[in-house]
Amino acid sequence: MAHFFKSRLFLISLVVVVVAATLPLYVSGYVLGLLTVAYYFGVFAMAWDLLFGFAGEVNFGPTFLIGVGAYTAGILNNQYGWSVYLCIVLGAMASVVAGFVLALPALRVRGPYFGLTTLVAVLMLQNFIVVFADLTGGEIGLTIPDVITIDAGANYWIALGFMTISAVILYGLSQSPVGLVLQASGQDPVQAGALGFNIVKHKLAAFVVSAFFSGLSGALLVFYFGTASVGTVVDVAVGVNVIVAAVLGGRRTVLGAALGAIFLIVAGEFLRPTGELATFIVSAVALLVVLFFPGGFLGAALSREARS
Amino acid sequence: MLAFQILIDGFAISALYALGATGFTLIFGVSGVLNLSHGAIMVLAAVAAWAAASTLHMNTYAGALVGVAVALVAAFATYFAVVQPIQKSRRIPNEEKEIFVLTGTLLWGIMIQELIAFFFTNNAKTVLPIVEGVVDIFGVRTPKNEIFTALVCCLVIGLLWLMVNRTRTGKAVLAASMNPRGVTLLGLELTSIYVVVWAIYGVLAGIAGVLLGMFLGVSSYSVGPLTASAFSIVVLGGLGSVSGSLIAAFVVGYLETLTAYLVSPAYRTIPALLLLVIVMYIRPQGLLGRR
């Protein structure tokens, strides 16, 4: 850890966060709104990377965890009018429970089977939301009466602060002995098990941590938007974006995932004038990165630094 | 009456699912690749057939052929531009190739989907059926097209079975799915077997796509659900097992038809998903899978 505080990565991150924190002083509310969403998205991607990059489990359903957190918080606020903060905490808790329930059957299987189990979880959640439309708002979406604040600057700072704290915790966890055991069990479960580590327990823990941050971020996002809908927090396409963000930024780096998420959202906005081709261009760029720089943005940068 | 209706409609849907999933499972069985651009290639075939018939004024047979040819080209493009570079890349560690193939083909599928939407809009398209009219089977008015779909699906799957079990090329494919290293030791080039498999896959996905376009119609929105349904059928049947996915296709097809007719079309996919979860829990390798 002490070594980390002297590393270049830490200094760069610190400078970036400080510069980002001063943005509300001189950029428009529009840019702030865009970045606010990007930061929450960054947390989704980092939480996913903990599971994939370290535990080696391909979770095709990040939006199951996100959606449970987001909808629990939204429904509690909509139905009972409980305070925003209580709803957010309960949303994150619900997501942890959902992560636990999903992990128990899912961790029995590996590789593509695990991926499919998590994908099915998303499709079930999606069906559930449509079927119980009275409670969830169905395909139209759920209106949420309360918001955290309407000030663009304050919302931006909350999102930035949340992403920074999440990044510190998730990155710290990934570099800790627990993270190393996770990495070992992801790469060679048999050998890691033979060394005496309880792989299932570690993976379950990774799942729960990932679920906690996904759910918390989902709940916060819902109170920022003032609405929860399948298209924004549950759809498989959203999950695909989370995965692309993490792979694009550099898997197994945690911080790269946030970078990838911010790039995806900002690039999508810059490409808006190209209309329907925006998604095509973003996917094509992502595919080229996957083919030619499999380490992602941060992976490429770090390996260059390591070489020099 | 309703029972016959379910029996007939369920059969057509199931046969179509089976055809769509066969190519998908074949590729996985032989080269370990899960092609997540599957749905996009099927929709591409249907849209190509539709465009050939409606804008180029070809007849329906020629249109269908164009659709299958386009799917074949798309399958080769998927293999040579996405899958092979990832498999040969030295920068990607071997144990991570699977996830890279998944991500790569997924992105490739999205690119195809977006191009279709850009050039042909998101609107649903129905390919003109090759045979028209309706016949009466046991009091059920059935479109001839539905019977045609089911027949073609069964015929193509039968031909595939003959090819795999009776021809030299087919036997090489079968051998490669059992033991790739053994095949190379016998002096067969694995890459050329892969090319054959992707060609078979392209033709199968093309036929399935064109038939789907005639039977139910497609739009660029169907890409995701099509990939997901092929994926779940294949996992249900056991990854890499062709006969397993045929059984699974009929189970899923009939479950969906039963739910749609007896409960509500809105709940159509739910029982199949539940079944999938249960099978994954009790028998993770699928119905006929080997581990």
- Residues in chain A whose Cβ is within 8 Å of chain B: 52, 56, 58, 105, 108-109, 111-113, 115-117, 119-120, 123-124, 127, 130-131, 187, 236-237, 240, 243-244, 247, 276-277, 279-280, 283-284, 286-287, 290-291, 294-295
Question: Residue A279's closest CA among A271, A287, A291?
Answer: A271
What is the C-alpha to C-alpha distance for residues A290 and B108, in angstroms, rounded to an integer?
11
Model pLDDT for residues B79-92, shown as the tens digit of each residue:
999 998 888 888 87
What is the C-alpha to C-alpha distance for residues B271 and B48, in angstroms, rounded to an integer?
33
Pairing of strands B134-137, B140-143: antiparallel
Averaged pLDDT, A245-268: 87
Lowest mean pLDDT among B37-41, B60-64, B204-208: B60-64
In this predicted structure, the answer to whether residue A1 has a pLDDT above a threshold of 60 is no
When pLDDT is cut at 50, 70 and 90, the band that residue B18 belongs to is: very high
What is the C-alpha to C-alpha distance for residues B42 and B201, in angstroms, rounded to an integer?
11
Averaged pLDDT, A132-159: 84
In this predicted structure, the answer to whether residue B159 has a pLDDT above a threshold of 90 is yes
The pair of structure tokens assigned to B201 is 């896959």
- Three-state helix/strand/coil letters over A59-113: CCCHHHHHHHHHHHHHHHHHHHCCCHHHHHHHHHHHHHHHHHHHHHHHCCCCHHH
Model pLDDT for residues A74-121, shown as the tens digit of each residue:
999 988 888 888 999 999 999 999 998 888 776 777 677 777 788 888
Model pLDDT for residues B60-77, shown as the tens digit of each residue:
888 899 999 999 999 999
What is the C-alpha to C-alpha distance for residues B43 and B171, in angstroms, rounded to an integer?
30
Mean of the per-residue pLDDT values of chain A? 85
Testing the interface with A: which of B280, B281, B282, B290 to mutate, by most A Cβ within 10 A? B280
Contacts of A116 in chain B (CB under 8 A): 231-232, 235, 276, 280
In this predicted structure, the answer to whether residue B291 has a pLDDT above a threshold of 80 is no
pLDDT at residue A44, rounded to an integer: 94
In this predicted structure, the answer to whether residue A256 has a pLDDT above a threshold of 80 is yes
Contacts of B110 in chain A (CB under 8 A): 240, 279-280, 283
8 Å CB contact of A277 and B92: no
What is the C-alpha to C-alpha distance for residues A77 and A145, in angstroms, rounded to an integer?
7
Categorise residue A137: left if φ over 0, alpha if ψ from -120 to 50, beta otherwise.
Answer: left
pLDDT at residue A5, rounded to an integer: 60
Model pLDDT for residues B225-254, shown as the tens digit of each residue:
888 888 888 888 887 788 888 999 999 999
Model pLDDT for residues A51-69, shown as the tens digit of each residue:
887 777 778 888 999 999 9
Compute the C-alpha angle B109/A222/A216, nearest 5°.
90
Mean of the per-residue pLDDT values of chain B? 86
pLDDT at residue A298, rounded to an integer: 79
pLDDT at residue A308, rounded to an integer: 56
pLDDT at residue B290, rounded to an integer: 62
More confident residue, B51 or A139: B51
Between chain A and chain B, the number of residue pairs with CB atoms below 8 A apart is: 105
pLDDT at residue A2, rounded to an integer: 53
DSSP, collapsed to helix, strand or coil, labels residue B189 as: coil
pLDDT at residue A237, rounded to an integer: 80
Compute the C-alpha angle A221/A222/A226, nearest 5°.
120
pLDDT at residue A305, rounded to an integer: 66
pLDDT at residue A3, rounded to an integer: 61
Q: Which residue of B has its CA nearest to A242?
A: B103
Q: Which residues in A279-303 are b (16+ Cβ under 10 Å) and which e?
A: bbbbbbbbbebbbeebbbbbbbbbe
In this predicted structure, the answer to whether residue B205 has a pLDDT above a threshold of 90 is yes
Q: Assess B63–A contact: CB distance below 8 Å, yes or no.
A: no
pLDDT at residue B235, rounded to an integer: 83
Contacts of B111 in chain A (CB under 8 A): 280, 283-284, 287
pLDDT at residue B169, rounded to an integer: 87
Averaged pLDDT, B149-167: 90
